[in-house]
Structure 1
Amino acid sequence: MSKDKLRIDKNCLNCDHVVEELYCPNCGQENTPSRQTFHHLFIHFFEDLTHYDNSFWRTIVYLFFKPAALTKAYMDGKRMSFLAPVRLYIFISFVTFLTISLFPTETVNTKVILKDTKNNKELIIPTIDSLHIEEKSVNGLTKVGILSQKNNDTIIKILQQTTEIDHGKSNNKEVADFGYKSVTELDSIQKHGDNEIKVSKTEYWFLKKWLAVKEENSNEQIVEKFMYAFTSNIPKVLFLYMPFFALTLWLFHDKKKWYYFDHGIFTLHYFSFLLLLILTLFLTEKVMLLFATTPVTDWIRFSIKSVGIFWMIYYFFPAHRRYYQHDFLTSLYKSSLIILINLVVLFILVVLFALYTFNEIH
């Protein structure tokens, strides 16, 4: 609740009604000065969004550790003690989007390590892909006298060899090509090939997008960028996916007893939990990266991820049973089908979304 001083004047600025307390008894507007600092606006926004008091923290605890308790309390009419479902989801979604966007994309520093047996040292040379250096750039250093011709030839040879390795020409670590070598080959087959070897419009879009990604990135860059795109797009896809998830709940339960609204409230709380857990795991991972990589820190990171993923999947089962009041076997059967169907569809959507936004990552 706001701790600003009351206005000296006793008339409401909104309706001109006489007001003696903090809020006008006629229209409910705060009787505080109309000109405020930016700090006040920010705090006021946060307070309005979260009802920043005990109800906010109570809501977070219930959401995170008591599956379906928050939804049952809301449906039983206990709505002043907790944050409203829509407001809760908007707040957690806003914080998650903002936090993930604040961290820059990590790029792959592909390199080759040469061992100097005489001095027992290692020389690390980045490849052309990692530095975006062309051979003419190295030749330019020779022309201005920075590199000798002998060193020029050696560096060019090393860079060419390591670039070929990065592109899969000298090893078997090649990302899936689906039988096509390039976008040009795919376009040629699609235009001039027989109907038997042509693909559908959806397959063509997917293959063209994938081959374009392969042509512009090394294998390591594809894996790293894709994982980043996959993770960062989960909150966006979850937001768009909520109505479908609520629909699957509606299809699996008694239509007379449960309205779509009831499933919608359950979905809002469940997806708020998912976002909160994703945010927690994301921040934990960033904090762990600040420490030196040791077997102990690796074990801690693995343990935290394992517990988080387990809780993310298991959470739905007790939440479903407590909210819908089924017996154990019926709840297990329905919740398993619901989770399986939605996991498959959601995974496909996230992959397609990640692929669609892949080239936007730099």
Structure 2
Amino acid sequence: MRIRRKSNGCMNCGHTLDSIYNYCPSCGQENNDNNISFGTLIKDFFTNYFAFDSKFARSVLPFFFKPGFLTNKYNEGKRVSYVHPVRLYFIVSLFFFFIFSLASKKVIEEQISNAKEIKNAIQLNSITGLDEETRKKISDALDSNTIDDINDDLENGNIEELVDLLDEKSKEKLLKVLDSTEVKQLNLNLKELTLNSLDTLNNQVDKWVNDPTIASLTKEKKTENNWNRIERLKENDDLSDAMIYDSLDLEDTSNFERYFWNQYIRTRRSDERLLTNYFLKNLPLMMLLLLPIFAFVLKVLYLRRKVLYIKHLIHALHLHSLAYIIYGTSILLMMYLFKDDDSTGWVSFITFVLVSTYSYVSFLKVYGQGWFKTLVKFNLLGFMYINLLGLSVVIEVFISGHDLE
């Protein structure tokens, strides 16, 4: 029961109140004195909104070890004795999305760090006459595609050949990071540099757009070609999003497809940290919006059972809550205990089996159909939900990319 600290008078209008009043009969304000210490406020918050009492204690064991029990009890009308499914969902989702957020950010940071290490590791070791510091400056200043091209084209492995393989824009970048001694060592002549790099890139874009060989490609091949082109150009700082978009083959495409490609370019070129933060911010809402859809699919699959939609929704809340706890725990284990690939693979497999088994048994208990019919419907639901989840993630990533604009 919610804790109220009642007063003898309404703090809003001053009306005299009796202890039986939860709300002021004059203005309607709640009769609750919040002039209390911070510690008491925190204690009341957990008591009021998380209700860690006998109700919670009675719910724990059935929730974990009796699939479908809480759903059946709630649908039978026995609701006071157990934690409300909505409250349970929000408590567990706080745990899961916090852990998922930590893990996702950790993975992104590791990927960025590894990519940086790989780039820094390209020290152009085959070039003679360059000291270690200069090599590192070159590899840090140039993008990875440029360095890869240089390493692929090097034959003699001398400084003169390196300079010949640098385009004008790359030389400009090096001039910003190298000191005068290093510039002299590389023999970079300022007079040889021009400012027509952007014109060159625009000409290349026009060449891509007007390439007659592209017109003969099938739609699937054009799509694949567009994917590859974006991946190849996304790290080129000299190209704007619009220039990359204009280089794609979008002839005979719908407005939605054009919007898709435009958003995809923005998403792929967005800062991974920012994109991850926006994605994680929107993810809880996305999963919450999927719950009623999940319940609707249950309603369709069990249409002949004449079960009210709200009962399917209660079942969906319990299933997602259990999945959040198990998956959240497994993520913790993989983050701190089982870090190698073999161990994480086994943890992921065991987690999937546990969630699937629990959900299947819950279906048997809640809907009361035979094991074969239940298995068919369970797999059909799983197939539909995984595809719906994948589509939702794609949409959510695009929305997150749009938020970065």
TM-score normalised by structure 1 residue count: 0.67
Q: How many residues align?
A: 310
Residues 1:201 and 2:255 are matched in the alignment: yes
Distance change (3 Å), C-alpha of 1:256 and 1:329: closer
Find the aligned partners of 2:329 and 2:351 in 1 and give their Cα distance.
9
CA distance in 2 between partners of 1:229 and 1:139 (Å): 36
One-letter amino acid of the counterpart of residue 77, structure 2: G
Q: Cα deviations across residues 22-61 of structure 1 (Å, max 9, x unaligned)?
A: xx5x649999964112222222222212211243254344
Give the secondary structure class of the aligned counterpart of 1:36: coil
Counterpart in the other structure of 2:178: 142
Q: Residue 35 of structure 1 aligns to a residue in which SS?
A: coil
Identity of aligned residues (%): 22
Displacement of 1:266:
0.8
How far apart are 1:209 and its partner, in Å? 2.1
Q: Is 1:108 matched up with 2:112?
A: yes
After TM superposition, list the pairs within 5 Å mapping 1:209-248 onto structure 2.
Answer: 209-214=263-268, 216=269, 234-248=283-297
Task: Find the counterpart in structure 2 of residue 337 from structure 1.
Answer: 380
The answer to whether residue 38 in structure 2 is matched with residue 38 in structure 1 is: yes
1:108 counterpart SS class: helix
CA distance in 1: counterparts of 2:23 and 2:335, whole angstroms: 44
Does the 8 A contact of 1:142 with 1:152 survive in 2? no
Residues 225 and 358 of structure 1 are in contact (CA less than 8 Å); yes or no, is this contact kept in structure 2?
no
RMSD of aligned alpha carbons: 4.5
Partners of 1:266 and 1:352 lie apart in 2 by 26
The answer to which structure has the higher helix fraction is: 2
Q: CA deviation at 1:245?
A: 1.1
Alpha carbons 2:68, 2:362 under 8 Å: kept: yes
Query: Equivalents in 1 of 2:374, 2:322: separation in Å?
Result: 20
For residues 273-321 of structure 1, the C-alpha deviation after alignment (integer angstroms, 9 at most, x for no partner) is 23333432333333348xxx6xxx5443332222122223333211111
Cα offset for 1:322?
0.9
Deviation of the 1:360 alpha carbon: 6.0
Residue 270, structure 1, aligned to residue 306, structure 2: no
- The equivalent of 1:67 in structure 2 is 67
Q: Does 1:347 align with 2:390?
A: yes
Question: Given the superposition, is the C-alpha separation of residues 232 and 13 from structure 1 closer, same or farther in structure 2, using an over 3 Å criterion?
Answer: closer
CA distance in 2, matches of 1:258, 1:53: 31
1:287 to 315, 328, 336: 336
Question: Which structure 1 residue ranges, 5 or more long, are not aligned?
Answer: 19-23, 154-175
What 5-or-longer segments of structure 2 have no aligned partner?
25-29, 127-131, 145-169, 189-221, 231-241
Structure 1 residues 72, 129: closer, same or farther in 2, change over 3 A?
farther
CA distance in 2, matches of 1:232, 1:300: 29
In the alignment, the residues of structure 2 paired with residue 149 and residue 308 of structure 1 have an alpha-carbon distance, to the nearest angstrom, of 60
Pick closer, same or farther for the CA change 1:278–1:229 going to 2, 3 Å: farther
Q: How does 1:78-93 map to 2 (within 5 A)?
A: 78-93=78-93
